[in-house]
Chain A
Amino acid sequence: MIQTVQQTLLQTGQRLLWVSSCLDLESCLDLERMDTQTKWERTWEASVPQLTNSPTLIVMVGLPARGKTYISKKLSRYLNWIGVPTKVFNLGQYRREAVQSYKNFEFFRPDNEEAMQIRRACATNALEDVVIYFSKEHGQVAVFDATNTTRERRISIVSFSKEKGYKVFFVESICDDPDIIAQNITEVKVSSPDYVNCDKDEAQADFLKRIECYKQTYVPLDDEKDRHLSYIKIFNVGSRYLVNRVQDHIQSRIVYYLMNIHVTPRSIFLSRHGESELNLLGRIGGDSGLSPRGHKYATALGGFIKGQHIKDLKVWTSHMKRTIQTAEHLGIPYEQWKALNEIDAGVCEELTYEDIQENHPEEFALRDQDKYRYRYPKGESYEDLVHRLEPVIMELERQENVLVVCHQAVMRCLLAYLLDKTADELPYLKCPLHTVLKLTPVAYGCRVEHICLNIEAVNTHRERPGNVDITRNPEEALKTIPDHF
C-alpha cells in the first residue's frame, strides 16, 4: 500500500516529500534507512509565509483614461513578482473579442440596448474566467479591470464574490485634470486596436465622446453609502488617497504599493559591478575587488553617465567592494544597500562550477532542476533574493532617475520585476558584465536600451544544461559553464 507522507524534514528551509511504502512514520523520518522503494524530491520552503487565505478580487473603478489598466498591469506585475499569483481580466479585451470591429463611441451610449447586452455578457464571461482562475489555476488575486462606474454593477460583483467566498477590494481612480487625461489618451488609447484605422485626431475626439457616455451614469464610491466596502480612492494620480476598511495583509500591501508608485517620467539604469578578480577565475560569490578591465569599465561608466546629462541622478550600490569601487569612479554621491548584496552561495561561496560539480554534484543538479527555488546550503535562493529586494523595489518606485550598480543574480531579480518575467525565466535572464541597461517606463511597460560600453570582460552566464538529473555525469553538468582563467 502506497502512502504519501509529507513531512517538513527538519533541515534548513527544506521540505521533503516522498511516496513511501512504509506505514511506520518513525522509519520514514530516518533517511539512512530509506530503501530503494522510496522516491523523494526536495522543495524549499519559501522565506515568507503565505499570508493570504481566501482569494482576493480587486475591482477597478473609474471613467475611461483614468489609469485603471496602467494600475492593473503594474499591480499584477508587482504581486506576481513577490510570489502572489495574480491575473488581470480586462473587460475591454472581452468586448473586442465579442464585437470584432469597433465602429465608434455610439457603442457606449447608455441607451444602446444591444450594446448593453453584449457588455453585460462580457462581464459575466470575465467573472466566470475569474472563478476558473481561482479554483483551477491556483490564482490568488484577480484584477477585474473595467469601469465599474455604476453602483448596480459593483453590487452585483460584491454579491458574486460573497457567494464564492472571495474578498473584494475596490481601487477607484479619480482625475479631473484635462492635461493628464489627454496625455493618457495619446499614450495608450490612440494606438489601441479600436482605433487602428483612424488618424490621431479622430481617435482622440471619439474617445472623449466615449468618456462622456460613462460620465452620465458614473457614481463614485460614496463615503456614507459604501462605508462597509474595502477600497482605496486615488485622486489625481496620487496626490491624495482615501483608504477604507483594509481587511488583511495582502490589501495592506496593495495599498502601500499603490501609494508609492508615480507616473513622473524618469529612467532606471541597471548595471553590474565592473569585472572582478573572482570573475576572472570563474569563481562565484566572494567579495573581491575589480580587475584592471573592471576599473576601465567603471571609468567608462562614469563617462557614459556624464554624457547622459541625467537630472538629479541617485546612485545605489551594495555593501560589496566591487560595486562600491565601480561607483567611486562616477564622482557622484552614492548610497549603499545591504539588500543589494549578491546572492549568498553558502557552502559554494568562492568555488568554481567545476569545484561545485566535484564536491556537491547533487546540489549542482538540484539547482539546475529548479534554479529559482533552489537554496544553497547555508545560503539563499533566488526566491529569497526577491523578498530581500522588495524594499529596494518599493523605494525604486518612489524615486525618479536612479542608477543601480549591483550583481548578476540581483540584477536578474530587478529586471524580472521591471520587465514582468516569470520565476522560470528570471534565473536565466542575460545580464552580462560591462553593459548598462536603461529602462524607461512607457505606456503599459518599459522600454529597454542595452548599452555595451565596449570593455572586454569574461562571460558569467550559465545556461540550463540539457541533463539536470542527479545521475548525470560531470561532462553533462559542466557543458554550459562559461570560460575562465
Chain B
Amino acid sequence: MTTEGFTGLVNHRISPWFVIHNLIICMTNCPTLIVTVGLPARGKTYISKKLTRYLNWIGVPTREFNVGQYRRECVKIYKSFEFFRPDNEEGLKIRQQCASAALNDVRQYLADKGGQVAVFDATNTTRERRGTITAFAEQNGFKVFFVESVCEDPEVIAENIVQVKLGSPDYTNCNTEEAMEDFKKRIKCYENSYETLDEVLDRDLSYIKIMDVGRRYLVNQVQDHIQSRIVYYLMNIHITPRSIYLCRHGESDLNVKGCIGGDSGLSPRGKEFANYLGQFIQSQEISDLKVWTSQMKRTIQTAEAVSVPYEQWKALNEIDAGVCEEMMYEEIQQHYPLEFAMRDQDKYRYRYPKGESYEDLVQRLEPVIMELERQENILVVCHQAIMRCLLAYFLDKTAEELPYLKCPLHTVLKLTPVAYGCKVESIYLNVDAVNTHRDRPEVGISTYSHTDTDFVADLVNIRGNLCYA
C-alpha cells in the first residue's frame, strides 16, 4: 500500500497508520453543549458522568463541567442550606459567577482544546438561566441539547441522597441525619422557582425529559446524529442493582505456544479453569444470570462448563490480527519489524495489515455495550483485547491506557455499579496459566526483541521513509 496524496477538502492517506476516524466525528461539525436540568438529587451528575464516559469511549471527546465543584472551590467551606436560599443575594452572586466561570471553561474546551461535547452539569431550573446558556451557545456556534431529569418518587430521591450526597465534601463534618435534613431543605430552595421544560413554551428547544428514572421520556427536536445517539443511550441505561462479570476464555493451546489470535481449543489447564468458573458462578447464586460468549471455540468451551444457557456474539470475537494471526511475538518481530514497532507507538489506533485496530474493536463492540446497559446480571466470556475495551468503558480508561489494561487469564472481574462509578473485585480462580500481557515497551526497545541492534536499524528506517509497499 502506498501513501498517496489526495486532493480535496479532506486529506486521507491509506495506511494502517492513519486510521480514518469514526464517522461520528465527521458527522458533527458544531460542538454540542449538553445542559442538564433538574432539582438536586435527580441523577443529573450520574447521567452527566455516564454519558461523558460513553461518548469518550466511542471516540467523541467529551468533558463534564460540574457547577457544584466550581462553587466548592469558590466558597471553601459549606455551612448550610441557607447558601441556596433564593433571597440570599450574596449566595446568588457567587453561584452566578461560578456558572459563568464554568461556561468560560466550556468555551475554551470546545473552541480551543478540541472538545466535541461539553456537559454542563447544574440545576438550570429557571427558564431565565437556560435562556442565558442558549444565548451563550448561539454566540459561540455550539448546538444545545437539554437533558432534564424529573422524579417525584421520595424513595428514589432518598436513596440518591444516601448514595452520593452524604459522602459529598459539603457534608464531611455532619452526621447522616443532619446531612439528610440539610439536603432536603436545599432541595426546597430550588422548588419554588423550578420551571420544567414546557411542551409549548420550549417547543423550539432540543431536549429529552427523563421521567421517573426512565419509565417515560419526552424527546423534542433532535437535531443531528450525536443527539440521536445520546437519546438512544440515555433510553437504554437503568439503575437497577446488578453485577457484570468479565473473564477471558480458559488458557488455550495457542496461548501455551505463545501465539496470538487463531481459533484453538482449551488446554488442560484451560479446561480446569472452565470447571472452576462453573463452580464459582454457582456459588455466587446470581439471579437470572445471562452468559455471553464470542463465536470462537475457546470461549464457547469455557461457557459450556458453566452450565447456564449462553448466547454467542460475533462482535465478541478477538481482535483480528490479519497477517499476524497465529504468530508468536518473536515471529512478528522477525517478519514484520516495522509493523511491530508502529504498533508499539500507537497501540490503540494501529491496525494490523488485513486486520483490525483497538479503535475498530470499540466500534464493533458498541452494540454489545448498549445491550450490556439494558441487561442485569451478566457474565461475558471473551478475549484479552475485547475485555480491555469493555473494561475501559466501565472504568473510564483513556484510549492510551486501554491497550495496556491487565486482563490475565483465569481471573474473573466482578463489576458492580456504585455511586458514580464501578466497584471492581478481582477473583483469581487458582489455576495456573501463561501470562499473555505485554507492557508498553520503552521508546525504541521492544520487550520481545532478540537483537536490539537490528531493531534500532529498523527504527531508523521508519523515520526515514513512511512509504511501504
Q: Is B292 an interface residue (CB 8 A)?
A: yes
B217, B218, B219: which has the most chain A beta carbons within 10 Å?
B219
Kindly list chain B residues whose C-beta atoms are within 8 Å of the C-beta of A319.
Answer: 14, 20
**Chain A residues numbered 247-264 whose CB sits less than 8 Å from any CB in chain B:** 248-249, 252, 255-256, 259-260
Q: A241 near B371 (CB under 8 angstroms)?
A: no
Contacts A48-B313, A384-B314; A12 near B263 (Cβ below 8 A): yes
Q: B216 near A328 (CB under 8 angstroms)?
A: no
Contacts A243-B216, A328-B6, A333-B9; A48 near B23 (Cβ below 8 A): no
Q: B235 near A255 (CB under 8 angstroms)?
A: yes
Q: A244 near B220 (CB under 8 angstroms)?
A: no
Bound CA span A240–B203, Å: 9
Kindly list chain B residues whose C-beta atoms are within 8 Å of the C-beta of A388.
Answer: 364
Q: Is B265 an interface residue (CB 8 A)?
A: yes
Kindly list chain B residues whose C-beta atoms are within 8 Å of the C-beta of A241.
Answer: 217-220
Q: A243 near B219 (CB under 8 angstroms)?
A: yes
Q: A324 near B14 (CB under 8 angstroms)?
A: yes
Kindly list chain B residues whose C-beta atoms are within 8 Å of the C-beta of A256.
Answer: 232, 235
Q: Is A358 an interface residue (CB 8 A)?
A: no
Interface residues on B, range: 35 or more
Interface flags, A154-195, vs B, CB<8A=1, else 0: 000000000000000000000000000000000000000000
Q: A49 near B360 (CB under 8 angstroms)?
A: no
Give, as a whole number of angstroms, the nearest-CB distance from B336 to chain A: 17
Q: Is A115 an interface residue (CB 8 A)?
A: no
Interface residues on A, range: 35 or more
Contacts A244-B216, A331-B8; A336 near B20 (Cβ below 8 A): yes
Q: Is A25 an interface residue (CB 8 A)?
A: no
Bound CA span A49–B429, Å: 28
Q: B297 near A240 (CB under 8 angstroms)?
A: no
Q: Is the interface of B mostly helix, strand, loop or mixed?
A: mixed
Give, as a whole number of angstroms, the nearest-CB distance from B118 to chain A: 23
Bound CA span A323–B364, Å: 22
- Nearest residue (CB) in A for B228 is A260
Q: B12 near A336 (CB under 8 angstroms)?
A: yes
Interface flags, A379-403, vs B, CB<8A=1, else 0: 0000010011000000100100000
Q: A49 near B313 (CB under 8 angstroms)?
A: yes
Kindly list chain A residues whose C-beta atoms are within 8 Å of the C-beta of B301.
Answer: 10
Kindly list chain B residues whose C-beta atoms are within 8 Å of the C-beta of A336.
Answer: 12, 20
Q: Is B257 an interface residue (CB 8 A)?
A: no
Q: Is A220 an interface residue (CB 8 A)?
A: no
Kindly list chain B residues whose C-beta atoms are within 8 Å of the C-beta of A324.
Answer: 6, 12, 14
**Chain A residues numbered 312-361 whose CB sits less than 8 Å from any CB in chain B:** 319, 321, 324, 328, 331-338
**Chain A residues numbered 233-281 whose CB sits less than 8 Å from any CB in chain B:** 239-246, 248-249, 252, 255-256, 259-260
Q: A240 near B220 (CB under 8 angstroms)?
A: yes
Q: A12 near B295 (CB under 8 angstroms)?
A: yes
Bound CA span A13–B215, Å: 37
Give, as a whole number of angstroms, the nearest-CB distance from A248 to chain B: 8
- Nearest residue (CB) in B for A240 is B220
Q: A45 near B219 (CB under 8 angstroms)?
A: no
Give, as a whole number of angstroms, the nearest-CB distance from B257 to chain A: 19
Q: Is B374 an interface residue (CB 8 A)?
A: yes
Q: Is A51 an interface residue (CB 8 A)?
A: yes
Kindly list chain A residues whose C-beta atoms are within 8 Å of the C-beta of B23.
Answer: 335, 337, 395
Q: B300 near A47 (CB under 8 angstroms)?
A: no
Q: Is B106 an interface residue (CB 8 A)?
A: no
Q: B219 near A259 (CB under 8 angstroms)?
A: yes
Q: Is A11 an interface residue (CB 8 A)?
A: yes
Q: Is B157 an interface residue (CB 8 A)?
A: no
Kindly list chain B residues whose C-beta atoms are within 8 Å of the C-beta of A249.
Answer: 371, 374
Q: Is B163 an interface residue (CB 8 A)?
A: no
Give, as a whole number of angstroms, the nearest-CB distance from B289 to chain A: 15
Give, as a whole number of angstroms, the nearest-CB distance from A349 to chain B: 8
Kindly list chain A residues whose C-beta atoms are within 8 Å of the C-beta of B469.
Answer: none
Give, as a whole number of angstroms, the nearest-CB distance from A81 to chain B: 16
Q: B295 near A45 (CB under 8 angstroms)?
A: yes
Contacts A245-B215, A319-B20, A335-B23; A328 near B8 (Cβ below 8 A): yes
Q: Is A8 an interface residue (CB 8 A)?
A: yes
- Nearest residue (CB) in A for B214 is A246
Q: A47 near B231 (CB under 8 angstroms)?
A: no
Q: Is B460 an interface residue (CB 8 A)?
A: no
Interface flags, B339-363, vs A, CB<8A=1, else 0: 0000000000000000000001001
Q: Is B367 an interface residue (CB 8 A)?
A: yes
**Which residue of the partner chain, among B14, B216, B235, B295, contacts A252 with CB atoms under 8 Å?**
B235
Q: B367 near A48 (CB under 8 angstroms)?
A: yes
Other A-B contacts than A334-B10, A335-B23, 18 sampled, CB-CB below 8 A, are A8-B300, A10-B301, A12-B297, A50-B311, A239-B203, A240-B220, A249-B371, A252-B374, A256-B235, A259-B219, A287-B1, A324-B14, A334-B8, A335-B10, A335-B26, A336-B20, A338-B363, A387-B314
Nearest 4 Cβ contacts at the A-B interface: A47-B314, A49-B311, A13-B295, A10-B297
Partner-A contacts on B (CB < 8 A): 1, 6-10, 12, 14, 20, 23, 26-27, 199, 203, 215-222, 224-225, 228, 231-232, 235-236, 263, 265, 292, 295-297, 300-301, 311-315, 360, 363-364, 367, 371, 374
Of the A-B pairs whose beta carbons lie under 8 Å apart in the complex, a sample of 17, sorted by A's number, is A11-B297, A45-B312, A47-B295, A240-B219, A241-B219, A241-B220, A242-B217, A243-B218, A246-B235, A249-B371, A252-B374, A259-B232, A260-B228, A331-B8, A384-B314, A395-B225, A398-B224
Partner-B contacts on A (CB < 8 A): 8, 10-13, 45, 47-51, 227, 239-246, 248-249, 252, 255-256, 259-260, 287, 319, 321, 324, 328, 331-338, 384, 387-388, 395, 398
